[in-house]
Amino acid sequence: MRININTATEQELATLSEVGEVKARAIVEFREKYGYFRSIDELTLVEGIGELTVEANRDRITV
């Protein structure tokens, strides 16, 4: 099952590879401040999330 990065909880996001609790919280805070992600690649706009993390999870996430 894919995780929607626009609706997932911190707990769901924390299950992704190389994410964990701190980065999951940063994703939720970014989403609350700037709105929904328009693409998976926009995750790199979140501090601490790089292209390698996005690529490691590309098959597990959706918008």
Q: What is the mean pLDDT of residues 12-39?
A: 97
Bridge partners, 31 (sequence order): none
Whether the CB-CB separation of 5 and 61 falls below 8 Å is answered with yes
In the three-class reduction of DSSP (H, G, I as helix; E, B as strand; rest coil), residue 62 is classed as strand
Overall domain count for the chain = 1
Whether the CB-CB separation of 6 and 61 falls below 8 Å is answered with no
User: Domain range holding 22?
Assistant: 3-62
Q: What is the pLDDT of residues 39-61, one digit of tens each?
A: 999 999 999 999 999 999 999 99
pTM above 0.85, yes or no: yes
> Which CATH number do you get for residue 18?
1.10.150.320
Whether the CB-CB separation of 21 and 14 falls below 8 Å is answered with yes
pLDDT at residue 37 greater than cutoff 90? yes
The runs of H, that is alpha helices, within 1-63 are 10-13, 20-34, 51-57
